[in-house]
Structure 1
Amino acid sequence: MRKFNLILKIGLSVLIVLIVAISYAWDKNNWHFQLAGQAANTVPEEVAGASFTEADKQTMLKVFTILRKGMSGQQMSIEGTISIKDPQDSAASGTKPFVFSRDGASYYYALGEIEMLSLKDIYLVCNHASKRIIISPAKKVVTPFAAPGDELIKTFREDKYELTTSAVGEDSLYVLTCNNHVACKQYSYQLNMRTGEVHELFMRLTDITDPLNAAKDKQIRFTMKSWNLQNADVRHFQKNKYLRGEKGHFRPAPAFQQYEIVSSL
């Protein structure tokens, strides 16, 4: 299970601050990543995995370094979509827009009908579907790419992923494939190696009930449509957009009069 969690971190670390938003929005019905009873990382090897070479290691270390640099800025704004295709559950499939903005130690992220705001004095979740505003003490947001590149590379090597590369316009596309992996058979990263902008992330997750049947694999695609690595959208960091009053006496802002406030402050 530890390695599976690391595998997910590889694909999602660029957008790590969206994970909490995703869990609020889709966790109960649509976002099932956990694999119960996982005993090994590969199923019987009917499809042989290729060795992850030293050259592959150096390539991916370079990719992770550029991604880390691109996501380390104190001011940024990213917009795009997250799409899920689940062949076995049409209700779990769909596409939702996301927004991520950072202004120093303050973060804003939104996925579908969920907005989340992390400020120095408050952590706020606005769920438009349930008409609730959930507020709690300030939380520390995890820095993207907290996992060392060598640890991620070790996972690729031990699990025998095969790396292929190609050009897509001005972007570079890196695809890691292991067709007999019990957790994730494929990752792909499409990014501009000059600017550090990620334009697409893709994961093909194994169906553990029928792991060698590719037709049952779940596909998850992150598409980044707009990048601004110099400026944050300051409109997103206004607590009074959602709340009025002070700690212990918060009430909904005029635009959210029908919303319930749930507070742990």
Structure 2
Amino acid sequence: MKVKILLVIPVLILVAVGYAVIRPGTNAASKPVAPDQTGVLQELSTVLHKMDTLTVLTIEGTITARDLVDSSRNMETTFCYTRNGQEAYYRVGRQEMISLQDAYIVVAHDVHKVFLSPPREVVNPMKLSVGKETTLLAEEGYAITRRVNEAGVHISLLNRRHPTCRAYDITFDSTGWIKQTYMRVTDEAHPTDTTRDKFIGIRISSCKPGVVRKELLNSSRYIKISNGVAVALTGYELIKDR
């Protein structure tokens, strides 16, 4: 069994997952947005790029998901991410993923297995420039709103007919730190059927630039080397992919 999970900067993948499925060109005939709304889209893209250069940080929060078709896939759980340069740790619920200099480790607590594979690069999913993203988003037919209240700055994109992402909302503080996001994404196989949509919410409870939880990046927490490689967790099976 091979586990192919790419460890990305999670605050970006979590808050940008709905943003990322807004595929360019799907609404090419849409009416162009007003200049003031273009400014809002640029502000949104700038916020999502804020952490592009941060390589030492720790983020914690909660994730909620609701599937209108399959309630067994609904979830509400916590996540933790800590990064120190090209090493990173990411936990969602009880599944842990660790990218180290010499190994990539996935701990699946639900099945009591530890997957060990060669190291992988910690990558950033935000590939386009702020200007390019703004231009592409402006062509997607979204109604764009921006408001400010005691919770912070709130930007909302809404297009009930969009084939991939019907709604995307984000709240951030006055300095640009993201506090929460919400997205409504379609079923790729049935994009016009709203009864098959999925809802994902992310709330960030703690974001600490410059802080790293070094104990979570210690390989001996997961595996031990003594006459070969073995699992450091009692009762867990080691599966190597090398």
TM tier relative to shorter chain = 0.7 to 0.9
Query: Is residue 15 of structure 1 aligned with residue 15 of structure 2?
Result: no
CA distance in 1, matches of 2:217, 2:193: 46
Per the alignment, in what secondary structure is the counterpart of residue 64 of structure 1? helix
Query: Contact 1:166–1:173 (CA<8 Å) still a contact in 2?
Result: yes
Task: Decide whether aligned partners of structure 1 residues 55 and 14 sit closer, same or farther in structure 2, where only a CA change above 3 A counts.
Answer: farther
Equivalent position of 1:153 in the other structure: 134
Per the alignment, in what secondary structure is the counterpart of residue 138 of structure 2? helix
Query: Contact 1:176–1:188 (CA<8 Å) still a contact in 2?
Result: yes
Equivalent position of 2:69 in the other structure: 88
- Counterpart pick for 1:230 among 205, 210, 224: 210
User: 1:60: Cα distance to partner?
Assistant: 2.3
User: 1:76: Cα distance to partner?
Assistant: 0.7
- The letter of the residue matching 2:117 is S
Deviates more, 1:52-61 or 1:177-186: 52-61
CA distance in 1, matches of 2:230, 2:128: 40
CA distance in 2, matches of 1:182, 1:118: 34
Equivalent position of 2:44 in the other structure: 63
- How do 1:34-183 and structure 2 match up within 5 A? 41=26, 51-183=32-164
Query: Contact 1:50–1:162 (CA<8 Å) still a contact in 2?
Result: no
User: 1:170: Cα distance to partner?
Assistant: 4.9
Percent of pairs identical after alignment? 23
Query: Contact 2:15–2:181 (CA<8 Å) still a contact in 1?
Result: no
User: 1:206: Cα distance to partner?
Assistant: 2.6
More strand by share: 2
User: 1:237: Cα distance to partner?
Assistant: 0.7
Query: Is residue 264 of structure 1 aligned with residue 241 of structure 2?
Result: yes
Query: Is residue 249 of structure 1 aligned with residue 232 of structure 2?
Result: no
Equivalent position of 1:220 in the other structure: 200
User: 1:167: Cα distance to partner?
Assistant: 1.6
Query: Contact 1:50–1:161 (CA<8 Å) still a contact in 2?
Result: no
Task: Decide whether aligned partners of structure 1 residues 184 and 205 sit closer, same or farther in structure 2, where only a CA change above 3 A counts.
Answer: same
More helix by share: 1
User: 1:113: Cα distance to partner?
Assistant: 1.7
* Structure 1 stretches lacking a partner, 5+ long: 1-11, 23-32
User: 1:251: Cα distance to partner?
Assistant: 0.5
- The letter of the residue matching 1:261 is L
Query: Contact 2:57–2:208 (CA<8 Å) still a contact in 1?
Result: yes
User: 1:18: Cα distance to partner?
Assistant: 10
Equivalent position of 1:240 in the other structure: 220
How much is the aligned-residue C-alpha RMSD, in angstroms?
A: 3.0
Equivalent position of 1:3 in the other structure: none
Query: Contact 2:61–2:202 (CA<8 Å) still a contact in 1?
Result: yes
Task: Decide whether aligned partners of structure 1 residues 50 and 168 sit closer, same or farther in structure 2, where only a CA change above 3 A counts.
Answer: farther
CA distance in 1, matches of 2:107, 2:125: 23
User: 1:120: Cα distance to partner?
Assistant: 1.1
User: 1:104: Cα distance to partner?
Assistant: 1.5
- The letter of the residue matching 2:231 is P
CA distance in 1, matches of 2:15, 2:156: 23
TM-score in terms of structure 1 length: 0.76
- The letter of the residue matching 2:225 is G
CA distance in 1, matches of 2:193, 2:140: 16
Runs of 4+ in 1 over 4 A off after TM superposition: none
Per the alignment, in what secondary structure is the counterpart of residue 158 of structure 1? coil
Task: Decide whether aligned partners of structure 1 residues 146 and 193 sit closer, same or farther in structure 2, where only a CA change above 3 A counts.
Answer: farther
